[in-house]
Amino acid sequence: MSEAQGLDAVSAELYGGAPADFVARRDELVKAARADGDRELATAIKALRRPTVGAWYLNLAAAAGLTSLRELLELGRELRETQAAGDFAALRDLAGRRGPLVGRVLRDLTAHLAQVGITTTGSGLDEVRTTLGAALADPAVDAQVRSGRVDRAHSYGGFGEVEMAVVPPAPSPSPSKEAPKKDADAAKEQLAAARRELAAAERERATTEARGKEAGATVRAARKRVESLETELDRARDALSKAEAEAAGLKARAAALTATIEQSRTALASG
């Protein structure tokens, strides 16, 4: 088995398991890889990060092959390709499917997790929602979701991509000499609608960017704390192993001394 194949199998096991068991099991697999002499694989496994609750939900959904999740990711691919082609009419139609389909994924995910005995949390589902939004716009996040290897929540705050795209209104027919006022009124309404849509998108962008920065700072601080605790845990385990080995050695030494004392007593008594 190649290192990549080994890492894929390990990743599938770790990201499909409960986050609470992740670190202990990962460390076991690191030790096993080192014992097999595969230090590169051990290093790669050690670099895997424990998933957040929402990331875990998505990994389970991918492993279960939820139809609605596959459909949403396929919609994201179509959105990206359509926007790149500049087909705004088609983009408008596709974007209309996004909200209902995200809602369907959340419902299907909640039902699936309930079937396997997992009760979802509001914060976990919020992570799922923001990560799905990022997956629609970012192929890299899409790939993580498809593979079931998500380790944290992702958010998308860019501009000019699918998530924040402002679809221009459909072009109005050329003004006719027979109904100039009607056409002018229609053009004004479309212009006003486009301006409202643009203003709403700009407000959403500002809010999303602010929330993204706050969430990013929180995630970075939490990740740093987790890494610190994991390092501390590794040291504590090493210290425990050494203490246990020392205790076992002392116990054996005490048993040997006890045997020597008993032999001496027996010799003295017979003498």
Give the pLDDT mean for 256-271: 84
Residue 166: per-residue pLDDT: 43
CB 45 within 8 A of CB 6: no
Answer yes or no: are the C-beta atoms of 154 and 127 closer than 8 Å: no
What tokens appear for 64 in the block?
């279960």
Domain shared by 38 and 134, yes or no: no
Q: What pLDDT is recorded for position 30?
A: 95
Say if CB 22 and CB 51 are below 8 A apart.
Answer: yes
Q: 230 and 159 in one domain? A: no
pLDDT at 179 > cutoff 80: no
Quickly list H helices, the chain: 3-16, 19-35, 39-46, 53-64, 67-85, 88-115, 122-137, 139-147, 180-270
pLDDT at 200: 64
Q: Are residues 67 and 140 in the same domain?
A: yes
Residues 209, 161 share a domain: no
The more confidently predicted of residues 164 and 89 is: 89
- Please check whether residues 59 and 155 belong to one and the same domain: yes
Helix axes 19-35, 180-270, angle to 10 degrees: 60
- State the pLDDT at residue 90: 85
Higher-confidence residue: 84 or 169? 84
What dihedral do alpha carbons 167, 169, 170, 174 form, nearest 10°?
-140
Q: Is the pLDDT of residue 212 over 90?
A: no
Q: Does any domain span residue 173?
A: no
Task: Check whether 189 has a pLDDT greater than 80.
Answer: no
How many CA within 13 A on the CB side of residue 135?
A: 28
Q: How confident is the model at residue 138 (pLDDT cuts 50, 70, 90)?
A: very high
pLDDT of residue 6: 86
Residues 113 and 70 in one domain: yes
Domain count, the chain: 3
- 12 and 42 share one domain: yes
Grouping H, G, I as helix, E, B as strand and the rest as coil, residue 52 is coil
34 and 59 housed in the same domain:
no
Indicate whether 258 belongs to any domain. yes
**Is residue 180 in some structural domain?**
no
- What's the CA gap between 232 and 226, in Å, rounded? 10
Res. 164 pLDDT band, cuts 50 70 90 = very low
Whether 142 and 162 map to the same domain: the answer is yes
Q: What are the tens digits of pLDDT across the range 21-37?
A: 999 999 999 999 999 99
Domain that holds residue 28: 3-46
Instruction: Give mean pLDDT, residues 59-74.
Output: 95
260 shares a domain with 220:
yes
With a cut of 90, say whether residue 48 has pLDDT above it.
yes
Which residue shows structure tokens 């670099």? 47
- DSSP letter at 163 equals G
pLDDT digit string (tens) for 219-248? 567 666 756 676 677 677 667 767 777 888
Picking from 253, 13, 41, the residue whose alpha carbon sits closest to that of residue 149 is 13
| In a shared domain, residues 219 and 204 | yes
Residue 131's CB: how many other CB atoms inside 10 A? 25
Angle ∠(62,66,68) on CA atoms, nearest 5: 120
225, two tokens: 């704390």
Q: What letters, b where the CB count within 10 A reaches 16 and e where it falls short, cover 53-89?
A: bbbbbbbbbbebebebbeebbebbebbbebbeeeebe
Asked whether residue 70 falls in the same domain as residue 141, the answer is: yes
Q: How many CB atoms lie within 10 A of CB 187?
A: 15
Percent of the chain with pLDDT over 70: 71
136 located within any domain:
yes
96-100, 175-179, 183-187: which is most confident: 96-100
| Domain assignment present for 144 | yes
Please report whether residue 177 resides in a domain: no
Domain for residue 69, yes or no? yes
Query: Is residue 242 in some structural domain?
Result: yes
Mean pLDDT of the chain: 81
